[in-house]
Chain A
Amino acid sequence: MSNTYDVVVIGAGSAGTPAAMYLASAGLRVLCLDRNASAGQGSNKCAIGGIRATHSEPSKVRLCLDSISTFSRWREEEGDDIGWLRGGYTYVAYEQKTADLLKRMLPVQRAAGLDIDWAGPETIAAIVPGIAREGLLGGTWSPGDGSASPMESVYAFCRKARRAGAEFRFGEAVTGMEVSGGRVEAVVTGSGRYPCGWVVNCSGSQAREVAGMAGAEVRVDPDCHEAGVTEAVERFFTPMVVDIRRIPGSANYYFYQHTTGQVVFCITPDPPITGICTRETSEFLPLVAPRMVGLLPRLANLKVRRTWRGTYPQTPDGSPLIGRVGPGNHVAALGMCGQGFMLGPGTGALVSRLITGALRPGDSEVLTALDPARRFGGEEALK
């Protein structure tokens, strides 16, 4: 038997594990490499767990609708509890310009298949009991969105991938790729050399460095975001609440109540803090707490349990890089812009179809829109 893998997947995180799962399930011989000690220990464990198809870019809507169908049916079909909750997403508006922006996107989103509508303040107040009413203009409501546990999901994907024959090797950082004749011949780590037919690059925040080993340039530049989780209490609201008002120090912030009863939250610093740094700062809680408590005053009583900092591998336009780049068998699933968890299953399935030559109608449009070598014109409005 040849020691060549059909596919080497680099990275066992939000994107890599579902990719390995779909590829192995399609009958390919798959090896998934990760530099950490176990799956999901890079950015996946830093994700707060939100899963939405509410984006402005139609290809992202489609990928995430596909992901949601995987997450939402997982327990029924596979048996693992991954903490899926169809709690919906609401983007709330307290300023007319926010309301206008959100409303403008609705036709595009609906055309891509998203169940989303505009809700008035009464409806928003019913969805988020206790929300500050002063100035509340309403918000979007996409009831099909939800949340799940990033780590439990990755483990579930990993288990299924293994059942389908995929191998995982941890503690192995990729140190090089052997490229010849416009193809990656083998992926090299500190412990071994792995000849391969395809490479699926899911290296997250290390995208530039790892793609560079294949001679490919990808425009992925991480920035840093902090997040937190609270104690567990009885459910008091269901959706992910997103407030995209930009104020000095921060852009948007968002929070939801997980199936465990814990509230998980995150904020986007403004200006962004570029680079890769996972060290906690003193700025996060004083930045996020007033905004959350201002929006939902009852949160003042909720105790913060833990905070952490992760990275968002950003692209110039806020959409991921999916498809071939550099050597002809080097496929990127990169630049997830902090949405790797929600994009993961949809992306993994698409990459698998690309490699097995089983593209479906509509896939080409998505691959064109997310082509790693595209011209970066617009910008995702709901980054």
Chain B
Amino acid sequence: MSTERTQRRIASHPVLACPEPEYVRFGFDGEELMGRRGEMVSSALFANGIRVFGHHRADGGAQGIFCANGQCSQCNLLIDGVLQKGCVTALAEGMDVRSVEGLTALAEKPGPDVPAPSTVETDVLVIGAGPAGLAAALELGRAGARTILVDDKERPGGKLVLQTHKFFGSEEDCYAGTRGIEIASILAGQLASQPSVEVWTSSTVLAVFSDGLVGVRRPGGYVLVRPRHLLTASGAREKSLVFPGNTLPGVYGAGAFQTLVNRDLIRSSDRIFIVGGGNVGLIAAYHALQAGMKVAGLVEAMPSCGGYKVHADKIRRLGVPIHTGHTILAAHGTEALEAVTIAGVDGSFRPVPGTERTFRADTLLVAVGLDPVNEFHRKAVEFGIPASMAGDAEEIAEASAAMFSGRIRGMEIACSLGLCLEEPPADWIEKGAVLKSPGGAVHPYSVPAGREGVFPVLHCMQEIPCNPCMTSCPKNLIGTSGHPILGIPEYSEGCIGCEKCVSVCPGLAITLVDFRKDPARPTVSIPFELDSTGLKAGMGLELTDREGGSLGKGVLLATREVPGGRRTVLLRIAVAAEIASRVAGVRVQTDADTAPEPEAWEAPLADDAIVCRCERVTAGEIRSHLRGGVRDLNELKALTRAGFGACGGKTCRMLLARIAREEGIPPSEIELLTERPLFAETPLGFFSGRCPE
């Protein structure tokens, strides 16, 4: 028994601090391993290169992490003899961790020692301490409303704590230009000075009940909260996709990936592939590159990415191929992911035979959109409990918009409780809508022709809710003739070359071109957020234009960390005069990193794809029942067990409806699944308040 496995951890990161882990010993299936004290057991296993956590009782399929968020139970492990989710169980010295092979025996030792269930009353219960919940709780605190803010994680912030990139939006409204991880700390810090707000971390809402109480599982026991108002700010969950191999360990959501990499600093992958060109997928590609991983490619079924163009361009420049008009055909592997096969799609999004290509990858991120987590709100409405929603639970949008909607909801709720300090300003509603805007029109792109002086080049041509460049320029030289937040930025003469706009732009879409020293070999300043430790003056760097097209080489003159630039490094590169204004980035990936296999691998049958992960129900079974006339998803559930599992249909609920649509069944004919508590499986001992001897 050895502890010689190499630790797959991120030792240095351009944005995140990487402290030396404090190691403890633990056992996995009898092998002694090392892990970081207090990290999640699933992360400790990943750090040891272990990503198969067991095999499913139904078909022996390999199991591993999927949501990494405490929701799905796919990462169940036997931890000290008790079946627990690896992704929400903190590692302790000497833990005995075992893989789950089929059904496990129920532990005989005494259950958790908890006090009897108790009941508390409060003005407002806010579910979710992400950007929306934190912002709402701050407003409620300012108004003096007794508020309980509940979150199932160890620290507040929600998905903000995974966001290493700088935020869009506007600086005055939502911390644009600041990284998500920093915003989480800022908001949590502000909340600490609100005496009427209690923050319950590591606490999971289990159900909203018809008698007006909300069941919360806390480390100290089961608490029933009776709120005068329920605010659901529980964010979103990732949509899934049905394709063969979709449950192989190594196939998971972008959120899980960011949790492993950005929160837990695990080098979870060597080479990833991504499905989905929305902001989530594009940003995940960027996070992978920041963590030193290769990104073999990204597929997007639509003709262009749905995410912001600046995000797509940013990863294209770094050398990530974006295959638009393509879909995922299959994930290959026996025990874990080995490769993915993609194909071009026709006008009806059907794969085109002969266009298949296979790429080696150990990780496939499924980032095909988000669904609101709004079941608590719907229950509250059904039961007549005053309730509202904020953030992604209400409408999927950027975190900047979530913060803003949280503030508005917080004020509104305070007013409804008679604790009104102020009504939300009238223009906030409109501003909130602006911050929620998806990417808008893409304007024609032209680069400045000038070859003298110093000036910024704004490679930002899409209307998106973002304006830090305008507010950061000390000379007020960047403005817009369009909407103050959405409008395309325009530069007017007078640049002093301070590089502020370059370092602040969340899209990394501004360069500074300086002809003043050497008009023949001008200097271009490029923002860079990857590991820059290996970059030395005099090195040749591969230059790209805005969309990643090659522009030959330039010579690195210097790297500069901008004071207050929030860990963005500026690369000053000497380039040929004729391309200076077109240079927008440097490529870091090589062609070999993204090359397909010489021949495409044969994809398994589409009917083998798993729809219900918990019960291993295939698409073929679902389709056969739908074709046999089943229209009530409750009947489909009972016939196939799809939705009977531990997660409560969180993933397959949407997939069932989607397959029905694909089968040409009108939604009006479909009877949806009945929703029932609990939101997360919880030991009976928690409700007993009476422990076995």
Q: Which of B83, B207, B382, B631 contacts A231 (CB 8 A)?
A: B83
Q: Within 8 Å CB of B215, what residues of A?
A: 282, 285
> Of B27-35, B184-192, B587-595, B682-690, which stretch is located at the interface?
B682-690
B17 interfacial contact with A, CB 8 Å: no
A304 and B105 in contact (CB under 8 A), knowing A231-B681, A280-B676? no
A125 interfacial contact with B, CB 8 Å: no
Q: Report the bound CA distance from A230 to B213 in whole Å.
A: 22
Q: Distance (Å) between the CB of A37 and the closest chain B CB?
A: 4
Q: Distance (Å) between the CB of B58 and the closest chain A CB?
A: 10
Q: Which of B103, B682, B684 contacts A232 (CB 8 A)?
A: B103
Which positions 276-290 of chain A face chain B at CB distance < 8 Å?
Answer: 277, 279-283, 285-286, 288-290
A376 interfacial contact with B, CB 8 Å: no
Check B682 against A301 for contact (C-beta < 8 Å): no
Q: Within 8 Å CB of B691, what residues of A?
A: 293, 300
Check B638 against A236 for contact (C-beta < 8 Å): no
Check A300 against B677 for contact (C-beta < 8 Å): no
A182 interfacial contact with B, CB 8 Å: no
Q: Distance (Å) between the CB of A67 and the closest chain B CB?
A: 20
Q: Is the interface of B mostly helix, strand, loop or mixed?
A: loop
Q: How large is the interface on B (under 10, 10 to 19, 20 to 34, 35 or more residues)?
A: 35 or more
> Of B18-26, B63-71, B108-116, B150-158, which stretch is located at the interface?
B108-116
Check B82 against A304 for contact (C-beta < 8 Å): no
Check B678 against A302 for contact (C-beta < 8 Å): no
Q: Within 8 Å CB of B632, what residues of A?
A: 36-38, 41, 170
A294 interfacial contact with B, CB 8 Å: yes
Check B683 against A301 for contact (C-beta < 8 Å): yes
Q: Which of B82, B224, B671, B688 contacts A282 (CB 8 A)?
A: B224
Q: Within 8 Å CB of B688, what residues of A?
A: 286, 289-290, 292-294, 300
A151 interfacial contact with B, CB 8 Å: yes
Check B639 against A155 for contact (C-beta < 8 Å): yes
B493 interfacial contact with A, CB 8 Å: no
What residue in chain A is nearest B639 (Cβ atoms)?
A155
Check A293 against B692 for contact (C-beta < 8 Å): yes
Check B683 against A303 for contact (C-beta < 8 Å): yes
B222 interfacial contact with A, CB 8 Å: yes
Q: Report the bound CA distance from A292 to B686 in whole Å.
A: 12
Q: Report the bound CA distance from A303 to B106 in whole Å.
A: 10
Check A307 against B635 for contact (C-beta < 8 Å): no
Q: Report the bound CA distance from A209 to B174 in whole Å.
A: 58
A37 and B638 in contact (CB under 8 A), knowing A293-B690, A298-B692, A300-B683? no
A152 interfacial contact with B, CB 8 Å: yes
Check A38 against B683 for contact (C-beta < 8 Å): no
Q: Within 8 Å CB of B209, what residues of A?
A: 279-282
A130 interfacial contact with B, CB 8 Å: yes
What residue in chain B is nearest A299 (Cβ atoms)?
B684
A155 and B638 in contact (CB under 8 A), knowing A306-B648, A306-B676? yes
Q: Which of B105, B213, B678 contacts A233 (CB 8 A)?
A: B105
Q: Within 8 Å CB of B690, what residues of A?
A: 290, 293-294
Q: Within 8 Å CB of B111, what residues of A?
A: 293, 297, 299-301
Which positions 305-329 of chain A face chain B at CB distance < 8 Å?
Answer: 305-308
Q: Within 8 Å CB of A41, what residues of B?
A: 632, 634-635
What residue in chain B is nearest A286 (Cβ atoms)?
B117
Q: Report the bound CA distance from A236 to B105 in whole Å.
A: 8
Check A39 against B678 for contact (C-beta < 8 Å): no
Q: Within 8 Å CB of B83, what residues of A?
A: 231, 233, 303
Check A45 against B634 for contact (C-beta < 8 Å): yes
Q: Within 8 Å CB of B687, what residues of A?
A: 285-286, 288-290, 304
What residue in chain B is nearest A298 (Cβ atoms)?
B108
What residue in chain A is nearest B111 (Cβ atoms)?
A300
A40 interfacial contact with B, CB 8 Å: yes
Q: Report the bound CA distance from A303 to B647 in whole Å.
A: 12
What residue in chain B is nearest A152 (Cβ atoms)?
B638
Q: Report the bound CA distance from A277 to B210 in whole Å.
A: 10
What residue in chain A is nearest B213 (Cβ atoms)?
A282
What residue in chain A is nearest B681 (Cβ atoms)?
A303
Q: Which of A261, A286, A306 contacts B103 (CB 8 A)?
A: A261
Check B681 against A305 for contact (C-beta < 8 Å): yes
Q: Within 8 Å CB of B634, what residues of A?
A: 37-38, 41, 45
Check A151 against B684 for contact (C-beta < 8 Å): no
Q: Within 8 Å CB of B685, what residues of A?
A: 289, 293, 299-301
Q: Distance (Å) between the CB of A306 and the closest chain B CB?
A: 5
Chain A contact residues, CB within 8 Å of chain B:
36-41, 45, 130, 151-152, 155, 170, 230-234, 236, 261, 277, 279-283, 285-286, 288-290, 292-294, 297-308
5 nearest A-B residue pairs (beta carbon): A300-B111, A297-B692, A300-B685, A279-B210, A289-B687
Known: A280-B676, A298-B692. 11 other contacts (CB 8 A): A36-B632, A37-B635, A39-B635, A40-B635, A155-B635, A279-B382, A282-B215, A289-B685, A299-B684, A300-B692, A301-B107
CB<8 Å pairs between A and B, sample of 27: A38-B630, A39-B635, A40-B638, A41-B632, A41-B634, A45-B634, A233-B103, A234-B103, A236-B105, A277-B210, A280-B209, A280-B676, A282-B207, A288-B687, A289-B685, A290-B687, A294-B690, A297-B111, A298-B107, A299-B684, A301-B106, A302-B684, A303-B683, A305-B678, A305-B681, A307-B207, A307-B677
